[in-house]
Structure 1
C-alpha cells in the first residue's frame, strides 16, 4: 500500500497484490494485480462500505480519476471505491506483444492467456476482498459492460462476498454462443448505420469516396498499420457511444487534402483513424474478445472467429458490393476479425497466438445458471435499449434468469451512459437499491 495522494476532492491509495497466475495452482507462478482505492476527502477514516469497480473490455484498465468526476463523484457519497486494473491491464502485470514474447512461442502465449478471463478476474477479486475487508467482509460490485459479465461470473463463483451488484451496459446471455452474439449484433449495426446516415445524409457520399479509395489501394497509417476498407468500417464502434456519431462525422470532414498528385487522405484523418482503431493500448481486447463468449457446455466447437464467419450471412456489409450498387457503405462495430492481426503493428506479433485461442474448444463455463436462478444478492441493472455492444434481448432474458434482479430499461443513454451521465445512471441504480424507486 502506498502513501495516499490528494487530488481535488479525493484521496487515492495504491494497492499492489501478489496473486497466483493459475488459481488452481496457488503456490505456482505469481503475478501482480493493481488497484486504486479512492475515498472522498475528509472521509479517509470513516467506516465506509466498499464498492469494487469492474471495467469494460476485455483488456480494459480502470479509469484514472482526476477528482470527483463522472460516476466516481456519485459513488463517493456512499462508498469507498476500489478501481481494479484487471489482470494483464494498466499497472497490473501487463500482457501485450512485448511481455508475451517472454513466455515463448504462440502455444505458450495462448496457454498463458487462458488464465485472463472473467473466472480468473473474479478469483483475483476474492483474494483482494479477503485482504482488504476480511474473510467475512462484503462489498458492492459495479460492473460496466464486460464488467457486468464479470459480475455474473462473480455471482456464479463467490456470491457470499457480494452485498449488492450494480450493472450498467448489459447482461451477458448465459447460454449465448459467440455465433449467437454476432448473429444478433449485425442487425443492430444496420440500425445504427441507418440512424447515422439519417442524421448526416451528406456522409453517404463521403464514406463511399473514402471506401472506394481504400478498395483500390489501402492506406498506410502513421504507426505503419494498414488501413483497409474493412478496417475503416470498424469505425462503426463509435456509433455505440453517446457522442460517437458526431466524432465520426467530424473525422470524415477532414478526410482529404490536395497533394502533389491530386486528392489524398490527409494525415489528420489517418492519425484520427489510428487513434480509434489501434490496439496498442489494449491488445487483449482483440486477442481475448471472442473468448469471453466461450463456454464448452454452450458451444463445444469453440469461437473460431465467429464474427468473421457470421459476417458472411450479412452481405450488406460487403463494402465493394455496396459501392458497385451505389448503396451506402455500412460500418461494423464490436467485431474482431483475423485481418486485424495482419494490419495492426501492435497485434501482428500475436497473430498465431490469437488463432490458437480461436481454435480452442475446451473453455470452462463462466456462468452457473442453477446458482444464478437461486441468487440471493440484489442486482440492479441499467439496460440500454438497442445497445450496440450488448444485445438487449440477452440482457432481459438473463435478468429474468438471475433471481433478485431489477432492471431499468432506458434509451436516454447509449452504452457509455455510466461514464457520460454525470453520475445520473449510477444514482438511479443506487436509489433503486435504497427502495426510493
Structure 2
C-alpha cells in the first residue's frame, strides 16, 4: 500500500489520512489486471486515538463512494475507533467506473461482474492486512454495506472483531424477483404517506404527467423528460432526509401552462445517474446467486397496476428499481446499455452468502432493522437475523432507512447492544 501524497490533514479536531492500494480486478487471478482502491482513515486529534481499534465503514449503494462530509455517526464512532472510510471499488477515488472509463474496457460486462459484495470483501481483507496486520477489525455496514458485511461474515469471518449493520440485512436466498415483489407494496405505502402529508400534490403530479405527454420538455442535457422517468422520483421517498424533495419540486413545477426551467433542472439533478452509473448498471446484480436476474424489477412491475400511468388513476411513484428503458433515456446510461443487458442475462453468479457458516457464526453482530424501511424488506431482514447465530436485532420505527446519518443515537444504541 502507498499513502497518497499530501493526503494527511487536520480539521474539526480530526486527523484524515488517505491510503491507496493496488488490488486484483479478479481476486481469483492475482496476477491479472489490477485496479486501485482508496480509503480515508479518520481519527481524533489525540495521541490516545492511535491505539484504538479500526472500524471499517461500508457505504450503501451499490456504486456510492464513502461520505466526504462529517456525518453524525462519524463523530460518535471516532470516540471508540479509528474509522476507515472505503471508497468501494469503482467509486470515488477507487478507479472509478463511468461511461468514460468503461469505454476503454474490452469486455465491460465481464469487468462489471467483479464489482459485487464478494470482491469488495476481498478488497477489505487486503486493506485490513496493511492497516491492522493480523488483527481483526470492526465493520459498520449501512444498507448495501450491510449486505457486504453479511458476505464478510460468510467468507472471511476471521477478519472480523464485531459487525454493526444498519438497514442492511439481506434475504440470504431471496431472488431478485422476491426482492422486488416485496418492494413494490412498500413503495406504494410510502406514496400513501407522502400524499397524506401533501394531499394537494396528487392532482399536481397528474398535471405534470399530462404536461409531459403534451410538451417536449427537455432536461439541461437535451434529453426529454418522459412521464416514466418523472415517476422514478419516488426513489427518494424512503429517506427521511429527502422525503420532502418531491414536494419541493412540484410546488415550483409550472411557469404558467409550461413546466418551469427551475423544475426541469432540479428534476435532472434528482434522477440522473451521471454521478452514480454503477448504481444503475449493477443494482440487480447484487441479488444474483446462481441465476439470471433478467430485469426483475421491470417484469414484476406488471403485477402492480397502481403504477400504470396509462390507466388514468392517481400517479404513484416508483422506488429503488432499475428498468431497461433507463438505458435508452438517461444520457449517462445509454453507452452502458449493452453491458447492463449482458449482466441481466448472466446466469452463473456465485453465491454471496453461506447459510451454514452464518448459522455457526462466532462474531458478535448487532443490526438495526427499520420497521418501515422502503428499500430493505423487514421480514427478509428478520429471517436473516434469526439465521445468523448470535445476531442481536434492534427493530425500530423511529427512523427511516437513513437513520444512521440522522441521529447519533442509532450507532450509540447498537454499540450498547455490543457491550451487553
Q: TM-score range by the shorter chain?
A: over 0.9
| Correspondence 1:385-400 to 2 at 5 A | 385-400=371-386
- Whole-Å Cα distance in 2 between the matches of residues 271 and 312 of structure 1? 30
TM-score by length of 1: 0.93
- Whole-Å Cα distance in 1 between the matches of residues 222 and 47 of structure 2? 49
Tell me, yes or no, if the aligned pair for 1:384 and 1:411 is still in contact at 8 Å: yes
- Whole-Å Cα distance in 2 between the matches of residues 94 and 224 of structure 1? 25
| Correspondence 1:310-389 to 2 at 5 A | 310-321=300-311, 323=312, 327-389=313-375
SS of equivalent residue, structure 1 residue 163? strand
Please say if 1:65 is aligned against 2:63. no
- In structure 2, the partner of 1:128 is 127
- Whole-Å Cα distance in 1 between the matches of residues 289 and 63 of structure 2? 19
Tell me, yes or no, if the aligned pair for 2:177 and 2:293 is still in contact at 8 Å: yes
* 1:245 CA drift (Å): 2.8
Please say if 1:49 is aligned against 2:48. no
Q: Deviations over 1:145-183 (max 9, x none)?
A: 000000010001100100000000131000100000000
Which of 408, 411, 419 is residue 426 of structure 1 equivalent to? 411
- Whole-Å Cα distance in 2 between the matches of residues 44 and 224 of structure 1? 54
Summarize the Cα distance change of 1:419–1:45 in structure 2 as closer, same or farther, 3 Å threshold.
closer
Tell me, yes or no, if the aligned pair for 1:218 and 1:229 is still in contact at 8 Å: no
- Whole-Å Cα distance in 2 between the matches of residues 41 and 313 of structure 1? 55
Please say if 1:281 is aligned against 2:279. no
- Whole-Å Cα distance in 2 between the matches of residues 360 and 317 of structure 1? 28
CA RMSD in angstroms comes to: 1.1
Tell me, yes or no, if the aligned pair for 1:172 and 1:398 is still in contact at 8 Å: yes
Query: Which structure 2 segments of 5+ residues have no match?
Result: none
Query: Which structure 1 segments of 5+ residues have no match?
Result: none
Number of aligned residue pairs: 416
* 1:218 CA drift (Å): 5.4
- In structure 1, the partner of 2:218 is 220
- In structure 1, the partner of 2:400 is 414
Q: Deviations over 1:282-341 (max 9, x none)?
A: 100000000000000xxx3x10000000000111100121x2xxx321000000001111
SS of equivalent residue, structure 1 residue 332? coil
- In structure 2, the partner of 1:198 is 196
Tell me, yes or no, if the aligned pair for 1:208 and 1:328 is still in contact at 8 Å: yes
Which of 264, 289, 294 is residue 288 of structure 2 equivalent to? 294
* 1:216 CA drift (Å): 3.5
TM-score by length of 2: 0.97
Summarize the Cα distance change of 1:353–1:44 in structure 2 as closer, same or farther, 3 Å threshold.
farther
Tell me, yes or no, if the aligned pair for 1:35 and 1:85 is still in contact at 8 Å: yes
- Whole-Å Cα distance in 2 between the matches of residues 91 and 434 of structure 1? 35
Q: Deviations over 1:258-278 (max 9, x none)?
A: 3xxxx1111111111111111
* 1:45 CA drift (Å): 5.8
| Correspondence 1:170-319 to 2 at 5 A | 170-217=168-215, 219-258=217-256, 263-296=257-290, 300=291, 302-319=292-309
* 1:44 CA drift (Å): 6.8
